[in-house]
Structure 1
């Protein structure tokens, strides 16, 4: 997980016996449905056992001994150790505690519930449990050690239009992490990813995200990149982030803060630039609008511009900006949408911010 600190020695998680059961089932080719029947449990109850929500009893331990080989005493010892670890980790986890109240208040909880990230509940203890479970941490101390420095976790493009809220950003990153886990990717291949970008540029001419996003995700997955689009909650001002969900899986995370094609695709190619140019260096840092732009951000901006409009065609921007026909011809030659050409002309001051906006595609995402 990209936000996990490596130099931590204090235990942050209790590992249920179900983890060992799952490993042994996999190594010995035992189906979960078979083992569930053997211990006289439904599939749902057996799933609860694997996750640690259901206790491992003497009867279950004896059946596991018969099916998986480890002794009943081993399984009962693992259960006892897990419950002791869990008790230590959850000691002091109290919704009435001032620190936990402040943490819950700092979360964009209403939006997290509306977006389906956390199931709503009126029970304050269960609400706290669900929020901790969303972040996959057992207590506030673990959350602070894991997420207190999201600036070290991702490279961001940000806008000074929006207020910074690191807690909201952590929630956004966490959901991006969860969504990326669902995408099957081949091993990370930076050279292949760089080669694919010219193919991806052609997707900018497709006006509907429901049509181009699956194609974008499929192409990038071939090079080991999981592309995820997650709506940013209030307070999260990131438009994109890059990090690694494992040694062989890159994650390119985009928000839907910007709804026009020129802004969305510039964000994508900017983040792609980080992966191509900076993936093998410890340079993934949070860029905020209250400080100077880092050299890496400048490099990613230049990379995005050149990917969208090759340098040989950029020289035509001033002349093309003088007419609608010139804009459309340049877009066709570059193989990008009209909106991308207009956006670059507006950024360079070649046309007014009010002109030619009808040429931009305004995307509608699920939930908008």
Structure 2
């Protein structure tokens, strides 16, 4: 209810008129630097999606949620549970996939939760987020090359127009890079979201 109520209280959000891959592509073009995060929040809201950001809630450890309110308006809640740029982008795009594909009652998305409320929808949203961030064929070519040095990763990220943490996060998920490597690359975006975070959640 926290996210739902906060979404209801957002002002100056236009009517939702649909979400396309082209519009998502315009958002992802900003995934190269943490300074763009506030602009991304504003652009999502400008699409008619009521996006709210909440702190890390210990009693409800989730990354994101997407659904429609009683008036049929889409809303998204993002948590600062991790607060890193790569997590922010993956979770945001995952939730945008739910909206674009009109997955109703998608439920909260908790990355450690082994139980998926709808496995097909969750897989579809995960696949969308992954390919929107890094084109699969380009990732396959990079992996085939086999150079996972910091320099090679940064060059690949620059080629993609993505922050290096996004590439590193994917390589870690796919077990090509150990989880304890390049930790400093996973920069925080908490300060960039300070003006958007819901204050004093109940």
TM range (shorter): 0.7 to 0.9
Maintained 8 Å contact 1:321/1:350: no
Are residues 1:221 and 2:48 paired? Answer: no
Given candidates 160, 181, 185, the residue that maps to 1:359 is 185
| Separation in 2, partners of 1:196, 1:206 | 19
Q: Name the SS of the counterpart of 1:227 in structure 2.
A: strand
Q: Quote the residue 2:68 is aligned against.
A: 244
The alpha-carbon deviation at position 356 of structure 1 amounts to 1.7
Maintained 8 Å contact 1:180/1:228: no
| Separation in 2, partners of 1:175, 1:296 | 21
Q: Quote the residue 2:29 is aligned against.
A: 202
Q: Quote the residue 1:65 is aligned against.
A: none
Are residues 1:332 and 2:158 paired? Answer: yes
Q: Quote the residue 2:133 is aligned against.
A: 308
Q: Name the SS of the counterpart of 1:203 in structure 2.
A: coil
Q: Quote the residue 2:13 is aligned against.
A: 185
The alpha-carbon deviation at position 176 of structure 1 amounts to 4.9
| Separation in 1, partners of 2:146, 2:5 | 42
Given candidates 30, 38, 59, the residue that maps to 1:235 is 59
> Which aligned segments of 4 or more residues in structure 1 are displaced greater than 6 angstroms?
none
Are residues 1:295 and 2:120 paired? Answer: yes
Give me the TM-score of the superposition, normalised by structure 1.
Answer: 0.47
User: Larger helix proportion, structure 1 or 2?
Assistant: 1
Q: Name the SS of the counterpart of 1:228 in structure 2.
A: strand
Please give the per-residue CA displacement for 1:78-107, whole angstroms capped at 9, x wherever unaligned. xxxxxxxxxxxxxxxxxxxxxxxxxxxxxx
List gaps (5 residues or longer) in structure 2: 198-202
Q: Quote the residue 1:285 is aligned against.
A: 107
Mapping of residues 38-187 of structure 1, within 5 Å: 173-187=1-15
Q: Quote the residue 1:161 is aligned against.
A: none
Q: CA, structure 1 residues 284+185, in 2 after alignment: closer, same or farther (shift >3 Å)?
A: same
By relative contact order (CA 8 Å, sep 6+), the higher-ranking structure is 2
Q: Name the SS of the counterpart of 1:350 in structure 2.
A: coil
* Number of equivalences: 189
The alpha-carbon deviation at position 246 of structure 1 amounts to 4.6
Q: CA, structure 1 residues 190+320, in 2 after alignment: closer, same or farther (shift >3 Å)?
A: farther
Q: Quote the residue 2:200 is aligned against.
A: none
User: Could you say which structure has the larger radius of gyration?
Assistant: 1
Q: Name the SS of the counterpart of 2:69 in structure 1.
A: strand
Maintained 8 Å contact 2:63/2:79: yes
